[in-house]
Structure 1
Amino acid sequence: MLTRRHFILALSALTLIPAAAVADTKTLTAEDAYDRLQSGELILIDVRTPQEWLDSGVAEGAWPLDMREPDFGRWIMATLERNPHRDVAVICRSGNRSGRLMDLFAQNGIDTVLDVSEGMLGGPRGTGWIPTGLPTVSVKEAYEALPKDLTAD
């Protein structure tokens, strides 16, 4: 049985584990994620670093939550628990980190999170959010829009 403590510890160790083969995951294209964000069906979590957010911006509507932060596991669990009627997806730079997260979610029985596997900049899994021409906002704007209680309106 997954406990919050085990999940949080596993997430903390995730940054030390090299990328493995990506598990069979639920994926979204960047365009699909954007459409679902606009309709209010989806919460998108950008798991990249603050420097990456500064360099390229944050997907419009995404919540910037750095996966290296010690509280990241708690943030993910709180997002899932507090928003049961919305899908939650993760996005990173090119799909590697989000793929590792998907593996970890699957290992812990969490099968409701989706993966925008092409990432913000694109790569072998697709064109990417930015090259597709989807809107971004500054990290300041993204932080200001981030609900402090991690509950979507």
Structure 2
Amino acid sequence: MGLFDKLFGGGKPAIPQIDPAEANARLRKKQLVLVDVRTESEWQDGVPKGAHTVTLGDPRMVDTIYGFLKEDASAPVAVICRSGMRSGRAAKLLAGAGFTNVSNVRGGMMAWTAANLPVKPYRK
């Protein structure tokens, strides 16, 4: 067991955090898929432009995101919520389901909107 494992308890590595501006830049270049896991009522305030939506509470969330990735669990995906907490849980679920390139948008939509990044109206 290495020093890192002793210090941090080993097990699964932590989910990487991605800055909202970097997430937006990579989304624009089609280098990642962004998924908003907030609730439908929260989406009424707008979702990140280019993002997919599926709630964390949806029992088919993992399967739905797998579909967004064109069934490639190694494709880069970032998840976002209001503050970063629920998307952190969603990212852990995805990693546990075998997704290998998952990140969490640091600060969630609060950071996204504070950075004046593009938001679109939500449509079903």
For residue 78 of structure 1, what is the amino acid of its counterpart? G
Worse overlay, 109-118 or 24-33 = 109-118
Structure 1: give runs of 5+ residues left out of the alignment: 1-22, 122-127, 144-153
1:98 aligns with 2:81: no
CA root-mean-square deviation: 2.0
Runs of at least 4 residues off by over 4 Å: 83-86
**Matched residues in 2 for 1:84 and 1:25: separation?**
15
For residue 118 of structure 1, what is the amino acid of its counterpart? G
CA contact (8 A) 2:95 2:102 kept: no
SS at match of 2:14: coil
Candidates 30, 42, 47, aligned match of 1:52: 42
Q: Deviation at 1:85?
A: 7.5
Structure 2: give runs of 5+ residues left out of the alignment: 1-12
SS at match of 2:33: strand
Give the length in aligned residue pairs. 112
Counterpart of 2:4 in structure 1 is: none
Residues 87/110 of structure 1: CA separation in 2 closer, same or farther (3 Å cut): closer
**TM-score, normalising length: structure 2:** 0.78
**Matched residues in 2 for 1:106 and 1:64: separation?**
18
For residue 16 of structure 2, what is the amino acid of its counterpart? K
